[in-house]
Structure 1
Amino acid sequence: MEKLEGMPAPEFQLPDEKGNLVSLQDFAGEMYVVLYFYPKDATPGCTTQACDFRDAHGDFSNLNAVILGVSPDSEASHEKFIEKQGLPFSLLVDADHTVAEKYGVWKLKKNFGKEYMGIERSTFLIDPTGTVVKEWRKVSVKGHIQEVFTSLDQLINAKN
């Protein structure tokens, strides 16, 4: 898939952990959206990533950004993960991976010699006009959240 940077972000409408529908349109004209795709709730890398976003949540909020995590897990799984880790942001259910496919992050993966389809850990920074201003694919968790925050901070400072 070609890069989405500079393009309109693919629209989505997905249920969150409580079953409420959340769409990109909900934040249009108002907020930056940090949309991150991750493989599975409560696995080591995904937990670290979610907790890193949790710990930086206030910093992102101060820059008028909302954080949304997306995985194929169920509402119940997301709710349990949020409660256990004290996550202050919503996790969206992409059970049929339609949105992951729109963003080009539903990929053939290999693990221990087995091939399967799954989420390639990726993050998209979407501005209030709905444009993807930065994307990170094949994300390595360590230091990633700081990188996203720095990009957002620089973007906002460049506009001021």
Structure 2
Amino acid sequence: MALKVGDRAPDFTLPSQSGEKVSLSDFLGKKAVVVYFYPKDDTPGCTAESCAFRDSYEVFKQAGAEVIGISGDSPQSHQSFASKYKLPFILLSDTNNQVRKLFGVPATLFILPGRVTYVIDQEGIVKHIFDSAFDFKAHVSESLKTLEAVK
């Protein structure tokens, strides 16, 4: 069942690009979290989206939020992707798509992993969901708009 605005985001723990385990609960009570699910490292759309988050990362930090990208790629792939594009935020490896399923992220065109962004407040409540496979940069603007409104 897909998450809806107002639902409590399910906790999860996944390995990051540095190999350390990261949980959603690590941030609860401290900061909001913007979790963006994307199909694949180093593909044109995913690179554009990730670089847009990179370019606004300081704005997210000033808004009191952490950015976390999640795809099915390995931690090694994430490490290479983050290094190549100087991504300053956490990338998590969901190799068996368990967290993608937990959040109910739909597939794009029934075959590609979906591109969906969730804005989760400090208490773990989903405040906004943005689902767009092709409007990569809107994931950033929609998230920032929501963070401003939640303040």
Q: Secondary structure at the match of 1:10?
A: coil
> What is the Cα deviation at residue 142 of structure 1?
3.5
User: Does structure 1 residue 144 correspond to structure 2 residue 139?
Assistant: yes
C-alpha RMSD of matched pairs (Å): 1.4
State the alpha-carbon separation in 2 of the partners of residues 64 and 142 from structure 1.
Answer: 20
Q: Look up the match of 2:50.
A: 50
The aligned counterpart of 1:98 is: 98
Higher strand share goes to which structure? 1
Unaligned runs of 5+ in 2: none
**Unaligned segments of structure 1, at least 5 residues:** none
Which residue does the alignment assign to 1:79? 79
What is the total number of aligned residue pairs between the two structures? 150
Letter in 2 for 1:69: G
Using the TM superposition, give the Cα deviation of residue 9 of structure 1 relative to its aligned residue in structure 2, in angstroms.
0.1
Displacement of 1:138 in angstroms is 3.1
For residues 89-122 of structure 1, the C-alpha deviation after alignment (integer angstroms, 9 at most, x for no partner) is: 0100000000000111153x44xxxx63x42100
- Contact residue 97 and residue 106 of structure 1 kept, 8 A: no
User: 67-76 or 130-139: which moved more?
Assistant: 130-139
Residue 2 of structure 1 and its aligned partner are, at CA, apart by 4.3
2:76 and 2:30 mapped to 1: Cα distance?
Answer: 29
1:131 aligns to what?
125
Residue 130 of structure 2 aligns to which amino acid in structure 1? W
Is the 1:8–1:132 Cα contact (8 Å) retained in structure 2?
Answer: yes
Quick one: percent identity of the two aligned structures? 40
SS of corresponding position for 2:59: helix
Distance in 1 separating the partners of 2:6 and 2:62: 24
Is the 8 Å Cα contact of residues 16 and 93 (structure 1) preserved in structure 2? yes
Alignment match, 1:38 = 38
Q: Quote the residue 1:5 is aligned against.
A: 5
Amino acid paired to 1:128: Q
